[in-house]
Each structure stands twice: as structure tokens, then as C-alpha cells.
């Protein structure tokens, strides 16, 4: 599966998702569901908004040499 979200980016998204969700619960607001978006992108390692721009925060992997 193609991934374009690096480790630090994933950690930031995870923390942001938990914080947004916690604030939503604390204030009893449905807007806390927005916290699911960064949690999903962190979990999948794929950000759909990066795709049209060709962005990636993930380190490039070297091709495997099968000699």
C-alpha cells in the first residue's frame, strides 16, 4: 500500500486527533468527530490531501537489489 506520511507527521496527527476528540468529549460537541480524520490518516499512513500535490513526508525507500 502506498504511504506518504512519515513518522513525525504520524505522531503529530495522532496527538492532534486525540486532543481534538478529547476536546469534543469535554465540551459535549459533535465537532470532536473531526479528530477521527487525523487519527485515520495517522493509522493508514496515507494523507489524501498530499496526493494531488505529490507531497510526502515519508523517507524514500531504496529498491531491493535481488542479485
Q: How many CB atoms lie within 10 A of CB 9?
A: 19
Report the predicted TM-score, pTM, of the whole model to 2 decimal places.
Answer: 0.82
Q: How many CB atoms lie within 10 A of CB 50?
A: 16
Q: Measured at the alpha carbon of residue 32, what is the angle toward residues 47 and 30, in degrees to the nearest 5? A: 125
Q: Which three cell numbers stand for residue 19?
A: 486532543
Q: Which residues contact 14 (CB under 8 A, 6 or more apart)?
A: 38, 39, 42
Q: Give the residue carrying C-alpha cell 525507500.
A: 61
Ordered per-residue pLDDT tens for the chain, 67 residues? 789 999 999 999 999 999 999 999 999 999 999 999 999 999 999 999 999 998 899 987 766 666 6
Amino acid at each position: 500500500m502506498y504511504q506518504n506520511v512519515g513518522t513525525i507527521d504520524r505522531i503529530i496527527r495522532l496527538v492532534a486527533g486525540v486532543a481534538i476528540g478529547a476536546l469534543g468529549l469535554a465540551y459535549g460537541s459533535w465537532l470532536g468527530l473531526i479528530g477521527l480524520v487525523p487519527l485515520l490518516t495517522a493509522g493508514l499512513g496515507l494523507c489524501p490531501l498530499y496526493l494531488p500535490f505529490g507531497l510526502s513526508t515519508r523517507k524514500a525507500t531504496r529498491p531491493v537489489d535481488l542479485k
